[in-house]
Structure formats: C-alpha cells, structure tokens
Amino acid sequence: MGGRPDREHDLDKELRDHLDRLTADYVKGGLDEREARRRAMLEFGGIEQIKEGSRDVRPLHWLDVLAGDVRYALRACCRCPGFALSAIVTLALGIGGSTAVFTLVSATRTAMLPFADPDRLVQLSGTVMRAQLERRFASYPDFLDWRAQATSFTDMAAFDQQRLTLTGFAEPERIVVEFVSAPYFSLLGVAPMQGRTFQQDEDVVSNPSAVIVISDGLWRRRFGADPRIVGRTIALTGGPFKTYVVVGVMPPGFRGLTDGAELWVPFLQWAPAGIMTDRNQRWFAVLARLKPGVSVGGAQAEMTAIGARLEQAYPASNVKRGVEVTTIDRELLGRVRPVLFTLLGAVVLVLLIACANVANLLIARSQARRRELAVRRALGASAGRLLAQLMAETCVLSAAGALAGVALARLAVGLVVGYGPVPFPSYFAPDIDRRVAAFAVAVTLASGVLVSLLPWLQTRVATLLPSLKESARGATDRGKGLRHAVIVAEVSLAVVLLVGAGLLIKSVRNTIAMNPGFDYTGVLTLAVSVPRVEGASRPAVEGRVLLERVRAVPGVVAAGLGSDIPLDGNAVGVFYAVEGEPSTIDPQRRPRAYQHRVSPDFFKALRIPIVRGRAFTQADQVPASTSVIVSEALAARFGPGQDPIGRRLKFGALNSTNPWLSIVGVVGDVSYRRLPRNPDGDPDLYTPFLDRNSQVALAIRTAVPPASVASAVREAVRATDSSIAIYGLAPMTEMVAQQTSRIRFVTWSMGVFAAVALLLALVGLYGVLAYLVAQRTREIGVRLALGARSAAVVALVVRQSAAVVVVGLAIGLAGAAALTRAIEGMLFGLTRLDPGTFAGVGLIFVAAAIAASYVPARRATRIDPIVALRED
C-alpha cells in the first residue's frame, strides 16, 4: 500500500489529466490553446482546492492534519527555544505538582486496601448522646445482640488492639496483638500462608484455647522462618496464659486492621468473663461485611432500629445509645484523605496559574504572528482550523511539560512518603499507575486546550483587515485587555494560596508556642512491661526500684512513673460523683474524667504546676490511700471562689460502694490526649501509683539532650530485671511532632505551592508589564521629548500596572475568605478570616506589583527619546 507521497502524486496526476482532457475538448471546439486552458481552469476549478477537498473526505485524514500540525509546532519550538523552554518548565511545575498529589489521593482509594472486596467492609461503633453525639466502643453483650438481630451483614467479628510481651529470647519484646473473633480473617478475605486461623469453638467463653496466629514478619524476625512453626509453643506475658500454640502464619504484608499487629489471639481470651457479660464495659470495635445489595445507609437504618430496641430492653445501660456504621476505608484512611484533597485543590490553583503564565507568553508571541495568522485567514483557513493549529502547538508544549512533570511527580511522591512528617499506612503504596497516567494525560490535554484559547481569540475575523493593513509602526496592542485579565486571574489564584499557607503557618507557630500544660522539652519517655511474680499478682520489680535505677543515670534530673503519660493514648476514662451533688443526675450526663496513676515526682518530671495544695508523698503510695489530685477544670465544678482542697469524690455513681477520695491538690490543665487541644472537655484526675501496676510509663527529665541518655536508661532498666520489656523509648518531642504531623505536612506542602504560585505570578506579572512598557516606547519617548520627568513616567506606569494587581488582589481576598473554610479545622489560635494574614498577603502583592512594574518602566526611561521616536 502506497504511502502519503504516493497518494499525493496519484491525486495530482489524476486531476491534471482531467484538466488536460477538458482543455483538449475546448481546442476541438475551435479555441486556441491559451483560451482553451483558461476556460478549462474556470470550469474545473482550482487544483489545490480540489486536492484539499479530496483530502477532507479521505479516511483518517485528521491524522495527517494532526501530524502536520505537530511537525509545524516542533519547528516553531525550535525557532524559539527560549520561549519553548520557559513554557515547558512552567507547565512541568503545574502538571508535576498536580500529578504528584493525585498519585497520593489515588493511593487512598478503597480498592487499594489489602482486603477482599473492601468496599463491602464496615465498622460498627457504639454511640451515646451526651452534650453531643459521641462515639463509643461496643460491649460484648451488645455485640452478641447486634450479631443475632442484624440481617444486613454476612457476619461480624469483634476486634481490639493490645500489647503483649514475647519472652523466651535474649531480650523480651513488646508486640502489638489483635484479639479477634473467629470470623475476623474470613471477613477480611485473608487466608493464612501456613496452618489455619481460629475455629468457632476456640472463641467461646466456656472454652478458651491458648492458640495464636502470627505474622510473616514476626515468624521471620524472631523464629528464623522455622518451617515447623505450626504447632510450636511460644511464651507471652500480659495475657491470661503463659504459653500459646501457634496454629497459623499470615501472608507477608498482612498486619490486621490496626496496621501494626504481629500476633492474633481469640477475642475471648483477653478479658475476664465478668467483663464479657457487663453491658457497661465498652472497649472494642466490630468488623462486619455487608451482604450483596445492602447499602451502608440500609445497614445504618437497621442498626439504628436494633439500638432503639436494646435501649428499651436495657434502659440502665443503653439509654440514649445507638450504633454507627462507617465504611472501613473511612476508618483507616479518614484522617489522610481530607489532607490530600486540600492539597489537590491547592495544586490545581498552581496549575491554573502556570497555564495563565504560558497563555500570556503565547499572547505576547501571537502579536508577532498576527500578520501570519491574518494571511492564513485570508487564504481560507477557518477559525476552527487556526484553533486546531494553536492547540497542536500548545499540546506539544504541554506534552513536553508533562514528561518532565511526571518525572518530578515520581520524585516528589517518593520524598513525601519516605521523609514526610505524616505516617502513612504500611499498605499505602502510591505509584504512577494507569489511573494516574490517565489523569496526567487529561491534565496535559486540558492544559493545552486552556492555554490555546486565549491566543485564539486574537484570530477573529474582526481583526483580519486591520492586521493585514497595519505596519509595525502603526500596530496597536489589541491583546492588552486580554493579558490584563489573565494577570488578574493569576494574582487572584496566588492570593488564595498565599492566604491559606499563611493561615497554616501561623497556626503551626501557635501550636509550637502553645502551653500544653507540661514541658515536653528535655524529657525522655519510655514504657516497660514488668513480669509478675510466679503465683502472685504483684510485679517482679517494684516501681520505686525502677525509679532509683533510672535516677542514678548521669544527666537525669527527675523521673516519674505513671500508668500513662501525656499523648501516649493510654488514658482511661472514668465516671465520678462529687459529694453533695444530687443523686438524680441523668446517667448519660454523669461527669467523666480521665484517671492517671502517678508517682510523687511525676508532676516535677513534666513540670505540671501544682496550683493549690500538694503533690503526692510516699505515704500516699499504698492501696488504702484516699488521696486524689484533680485538674483545674475538675476543680471548677465546685464553683468560683470555692476551695476544692478537702472536698470528696468517688468513682462511679453517688450510691456506689466505692470509697470516697479526698482532694489534696489541684494541678494545671494538660492537653493529655491530643495536641493542640483535648478532643473533649473532660478533666483529669490523678491517683497514687501502686506497685501492682505491671505496665508502667516513665517520664525522665534530663539536663542533657534526652537521646544522649537513652541507651544508659535502657541498660539501667535491663539491669534491674532482664525480663522487663522496654518499648517507646524516645524523646517526648517526637510524640509532640507526631501529634502535629498532619498540620505540619499540610503547612509544608501549602507553603511550597504558595511559593511556586507567587513566583509564577511575579514572573507573569513582570513579563506582561515589560512587554506592555516596550509597546509604549514611542509614547514614553514623546513624553520625555516634551519634557516629562523620568520619575513622573515611572509613576504613571507603576500606577497603571498596580491597578490591575489591586483588582486581582480584591478578587483573590474575597475568594480566600470563602475557600479557607476547607482548612478551618486545622487552624489553632486564630480564625480563617485572620485580619493579619489577609493584610500581610495584600501588602506582599502590592509590593510585588510595584517592583515588577518599576524595573521595566525605569529601563524604558533610559532610552534616548530620539531613538524612541524613530522606532518602527
């Protein structure tokens, strides 16, 4: 089959043959050769026009046209390499940034979860209506009722995360354990690599079995990938049994719903039977799988009805309690997605600014091509044909920018996941897959089309005749208004990004400068699991012995023990009653606080201020102690001006048999559970640390960098008893950094995007203003020749360009006031309409406009007026 040249040659030969025959017919009719040729050409028509028509009806002719346009675009880029490079780099920044963030967003899809049909998996959680609807965990009796009454699910499984100590090795290891009901693995659709998972008869109260399933990672790390691991007995402390039989090994990469588990135990082995029958003991979540055809909304309606029935049947424990059904992807990725979608919106603004910059470059370039485009129109090219050619040129630039952008995106994604402050799940594996590639292609084409539209507006028929007639001297800049509009858009978009970044930066600054109620600098934290004495309930090593060993480490200033420490997530909520209050309090409105068992020096180690009264003494460290210390928020319950010292409270209801506790001190409020503020307003209370606690947290204040004494502290604890498992050994600043990682990640990313946006906006502003000033060279020359001062000319140019920026600034500030609602939940210590931030961004852009216009204006005033007047 012949190629395109052969087809063109055959078509030309055929048309000329027809023309020759028609000419011969006229010659036979008596006309001379010249007149016959003229008559034939008039009758036949133009050969080139006929060729064009023939090509238009040829199959896949558009491919030939597109190929020609692309070749022309490549030649045009080679003729202007500086312009092409500027456009490609600008688009690479926009396309690369948007592709990188979309890659991260794509990795949070439900389909990316390492479970079978994850879109059918849901989590059931208990709820309670207090001052507002609060999420709670489930009790085991409620779980059994949900499982028996619900018809929307194929099955349900209870699960909870705890830690146990793996012993039998040179150094014990504290590992994450999931206690799960038997259907847990089948609901997730994950089968063991070796052995089996749990059977139904291993998950009933009357027949607890000491069996476990371990992860592939633990099997390889601790057991050397022993092929005979199934059936092997291993030792664990912290649970109801001392030894467990391994019945299965899970496949590589599986770490359970908590994404940290290395070992699984039957659910009913975790808690005593008494807790399993108490509806008021709510402490775990429930996994379920929707039946085919059942929606989340339908399941929620059914569970709401079941909750209402349980409330009627058990008013003492279930009043105002319900059930919440949420998709599992929302539970696992719910904190990551809003961050990434916020960044996706920000990077789209950067992409639009990049497109506007390139459009401005093309508009300026189209001024030089105006006569060329006008000639094309005069020769019959339609507006659509010119648009297609312009689109081909811009799409070539966009494609080159996309190639560079995708490489930039791959690098950026690797840096974010590997070194970013946000701890992504282990199964979070962003990659440039087909979905991301399709997004990149779509963005590239959209950018090409968007960039080409503005220059195309200058090829309208209305500009045809003036463009053909005008000389360079008489040319007017008909694109001036269009370029001004583009600059307004650029400034507006950049202002929105800068305001958002400014708010987040101030919020991070406020978070860092905040007072969480304790001093976390210079503090080393660790947690230990102390084994219990054989046949006794007390730990093998007393807490005071641990403290003595740790305090003896050089560089340690103070050390305190606690059942938990701020930000470690182990605080326990309790209900309490205050002496003298009415006994008819609504059960759902009973006061609640978080209890912490602490040693006397705990407050000193963390520098939690004693506001009133005293700290604990050694005399308080006995089981019969009735001393309690409360936070300022709890003391406020006694009313303003009331002295809480000596007042009494008890755990549970007012009529419970729990002993009364006397308040001996009041300490400052602490952000104990989350930074920058606690997720609820519940106060804290402190009771004396008792040596019956085997799970202990230590807060150690040092006179030297905490990390420098970490190894010495570890050795001191190990020297006390080698069977003690040590974990969580790190400076407390790392815990604080983890708490603020999300807002720091967003702030860092938004800051980068805002800086790029500002740079692009300034480059675009400077380029347009420099071009406009160059267009006014003759005018400036006339003004200077007539005696105008250079300062007056500069002021005129600056004033006119500043007006364009002010319009964009006003639009951008209005847009920012509306769009910053998306980040309102991340702000701390300021509102989304913070006047300082808005005013600061305004000043930045006003100063930028003055600087961008001053330089080209000043340059123009240095031109010799005679030279300017002669300019053609």
pLDDT tens for 539-584 read 767 888 889 999 999 999 999 999 999 998 888 888 899 988 776 6
Does 676 sit behind a cis peptide bond, omega within 30 degrees of 0 on the bond before it? yes
As a whole-number percent, the residues of the chain with pLDDT over 90 amount to 32
Asked whether residue 764 carries a pLDDT value surpassing 90, the answer given is no
Question: pLDDT band at 384, cuts 50/70/90?
Answer: low
Q: Name the residue with higher pLDDT: 353 or 297.
A: 297
pLDDT at 383: 62
C-alpha 18/C-alpha 651 separation (Å) is 108
C-alpha 241/C-alpha 341 separation (Å) is 46
Domain boundaries, the chain: 4-58, 118-333, 337-512+741-870, 531-723
Question: pLDDT band at 472, cuts 50/70/90?
Answer: very low
- H/E element, 628: strand 627-631
Asked whether residue 138 carries a pLDDT value surpassing 70, the answer given is yes
pLDDT at 514: 79
pLDDT at 45: 62
Note the Cα 814 to chain centre separation in Å: 25
Q: Name the residue with higher pLDDT: 145 or 52.
A: 145
What is the mean predicted confidence (pLDDT) over 128-139? 82
Measuring CA to CA, how many Å separate 404 from each of 90, 93, 450, 685?
10, 9, 19, 58
Name the nearest CA neighbour of 306 among 127, 118, 137. 127
pLDDT, tens only, 220-261: 999 999 999 999 999 988 777 788 999 999 999 999 999 999
Let me know: does 760 contact 351? Beta carbons within 8 Å.
no
pLDDT at 579: 87
Name the nearest CA neighbour of 596 among 686, 722, 514, 698. 686
Cβ atoms within 10 Å of 375's Cβ, excluding its own: 13
Question: In the block, which residue shows the tokens 């995708």?
Answer: 406
Q: What are phi and psi for residue 326, nearest 5 degrees?
A: -130, 145
pLDDT at 245: 93
Note the Cα 521 to chain centre separation in Å: 28
Question: In the block, which residue shows the tokens 């940034």?
Answer: 97
Asked whether residue 466 carries a pLDDT value surpassing 90, the answer given is no
pLDDT, tens only, 153-177: 999 999 999 888 898 887 888 899 9
Asked whether residue 298 carries a pLDDT value surpassing 60, the answer given is yes
Question: pLDDT band at 829, cuts 50/70/90?
Answer: confident
pLDDT at 862: 72
Q: Name the residue with higher pLDDT: 393 or 12.
A: 393
Question: pLDDT band at 461, cuts 50/70/90?
Answer: very low
What amino acid occupies position 60? L
- H/E element, 744: helix 741-775
Question: pLDDT band at 399, cuts 50/70/90?
Answer: confident
Question: pLDDT band at 852, cuts 50/70/90?
Answer: confident
What amino acid occupies position 353? I
pLDDT at 474: 41
- In this structure, of 3-17, 564-578, 687-701, 830-844, the range with the lowest mean pLDDT score is 3-17
Cβ atoms within 10 Å of 205's Cβ, excluding its own: 12
Asked whether residue 784 carries a pLDDT value surpassing 80, the answer given is no
pLDDT at 251: 96
Question: pLDDT band at 534, cuts 50/70/90?
Answer: low
pLDDT at 475: 42
pLDDT at 655: 83
